[in-house]
Amino acid sequence: MMFVKYRLYVVALLIIIISGGLIYLSFIRNIFNTTSASTEDIYKDLFSGEFSNKIDIYISERSSHVISPDLIKYMGLNTIIFSSLKDLSILNKPSLLILHVDDITDVNLKPVDILNILTRSTSNINRLVIMFLNPDKNIDKTRIMFEIILKYYGYKKVRLIMPLEPYDQLPSDKLNGTLNKIHHKFYEAMAIGFSYNPNGVIIIEDLYDMPQTIIKILDWSRFIQKPISEPRLLRLLGSNSIIDQKGVNYLGYIGWKTSDVSGCGGTIGTIYVKVDYFYTNVTALTGKTYHAWFAHIEHSAKGYATTCCSSFWPFCGTQYHYPSKFISETNWRTSTFPGQVLDEWNPKNVGTAQNMTFIVAWNAKTSSFLTVSYSTTSVSMPNTPSYSWFDESTPSSGVARARHELVTPQDYDISRLNNVLFTVEPTSVAFLDPDKPGGVMPMILSHYFYTQFNTGESGSISFNVYLYDSSYREY
């Protein structure tokens, strides 16, 4: 999370503007730990009892075709579905009102009629977020919606804070009539939320992970009373992939290295790689010191939609690309230097999960470890992608190698995976044995990363590194 004042210069999947400031959040990668509590338990703890009785979630029938009411009920939130704006009742609690842009472009309702309905229905409350769904990104409907919201804020005697395009020239050019426009992302969003207490707008580019988005909206709008720093809540909202560590010193990182993958229609995807290195040591009773290093990998990739034409087919079509296979390898070079010993790595064995959490420890007596967590989705829901992993390591050679495959449910709409970044994070630790050949600093290792996309195209990144106790270098 990054806080930036006054002007919007970077836009990610979710942008929140509050009282003249900006909070930048990236939900491309949603990572959390579920080792001590299931997602359902966290929802129950967060939304049950007194809290769930204090807010209402209103969903129009048109919106219910985009966001499943069952999903919100699964979160433990009180949900009311209404057929059209004409049937919207008087709201008596702080509420999240979810509308479809088609609700306000209904030929049977004029803009002033919609405005009257909104002001009448919300006259009894002072805490409200109105969220408009625009899955087709219809710009004309966005403009109509925006005009109504501006007037609605006028009745509330509040001036709406909006994201603006960054200045291309000095602010003094305003004198010549050059004023910043509303940021273009506002018109490209699949959903937009408005709140007047606190005052601001929420721009949501993608509806891929609505539970995560709804929770963040409720927290931002101060509906969630529990402190955001509470560990259980942090696990739900997302945290760093290394969620715990002990007895290690951060040495540094190499990355992000990138590689574009070409295919039918041009660039079909991009691969990204970063590796973090940690150092620790222990002195044995014999007086010998053993040096150890952790390598934590972030191996990411995303695919794009391309227009693919074939000489064997009479027309062109759209192809949706997404990463389907990751091979991530750290070679601690034991075959070359027997004194470089691979000690621990994860993930191990074979399995399938949406959420993966594991500990990589070096010699339990040293109490040095990293706890890593990553996932395909931030919520354990049915019919969403998951990872299958396969441990292909060769410990005697020093090779820690993990293969991840993205599993998509049958009949899953793969267009939803377009431009979504997926990340896997295998981690390993190796140490120097001073009694074996090559068991002296530096530690010499190599990395290899391979990514294959669902349409068959692939690419790779590789590099070599040597590590000391307080420095490192790529070579």
Q: Answer whether residue 367 is part of any domain.
A: yes
Where is the domain boundary, 223, 254, 282? 223
The structural domain count of the chain equals: 2
The token pair that represents 200 in the structure block: 């601001």
Q: Are residues 115 and 85 in the same domain?
A: yes
The token pair that represents 303 in the structure block: 């695919």
Calpha distance 74→54 (Å, rounded): 17
Q: Which range marks the domain in which residue 446 is found?
A: 242-474
If residue 362 lies in a helix (H) or strand (E), which one and from where to where? strand 355-362
Q: Are residues 322 and 186 in the same domain?
A: no
Q: Are residues 179 and 266 in the same domain?
A: no
Q: Are residues 218 and 312 in the same domain?
A: no
3-state secondary structure of 62: helix
Q: Answer whether residue 432 is part of any domain.
A: yes
Q: Are residues 204 and 250 in the same domain?
A: no
Q: Answer whether residue 229 is part of any domain.
A: no
Q: Are residues 314 and 166 in the same domain?
A: no
3-state secondary structure of 388: strand
Q: Are residues 26 and 65 in the same domain?
A: yes
Q: Answer whether residue 39 is part of any domain.
A: no
Q: Answer whether residue 111 is part of any domain.
A: yes
Q: Which of 108-117, 329-338, 461-470 has the lowest mean pLDDT?
A: 108-117
Q: Are residues 393 and 282 in the same domain?
A: yes
Q: Answer whether residue 230 is part of any domain.
A: no
Say which CATH number the domain at 408 has: 2.70.240
Q: Answer whether residue 78 is part of any domain.
A: yes
At residue 69, what are phi and psi to the nearest 5 degrees?
A: -60, -30
> pLDDT tens digit string along 128-157?
899 999 988 888 898 889 888 988 888 888
pTM check: above 0.85: no
Calpha distance 291→414 (Å, rounded): 46
> pLDDT tens digit string along 149-186?
988 888 888 888 777 766 444 444 444 444 457 778 88
Q: Are residues 159 and 302 in the same domain?
A: no
Q: Are residues 272 and 329 in the same domain?
A: yes
Calculate mean pLDDT across residues 244-254: 76
Q: Are 112 and 83 in contact (CB under 8 A)?
A: no
Q: Are residues 277 and 165 in the same domain?
A: no
The per-residue pLDDT of the chain, averaged, comes to: 76
Q: Is the pLDDT of residue 443 over 90?
A: yes
pLDDT at 224: 62
Q: Is the pLDDT of residue 445 over 90?
A: yes
pLDDT band at 34 (very low <50, low <70, confident <90, very high): very low
Tokens 């991530």, residue located: 328
> pLDDT tens digit string along 194-212?
887 778 888 887 775 666 6
Q: Are 357 and 34 in contact (CB under 8 A)?
A: yes
Q: Are 161 and 20 in contact (CB under 8 A)?
A: yes
Q: Are residues 151 and 217 in the same domain?
A: yes
Q: How far is CA 279 from the centre of its chain?
A: 28
Total residues belonging to the chain: 475
Calpha distance 388→397 (Å, rounded): 24
Q: Answer whether residue 233 is part of any domain.
A: no
Q: Are 373 and 234 in contact (CB under 8 A)?
A: no
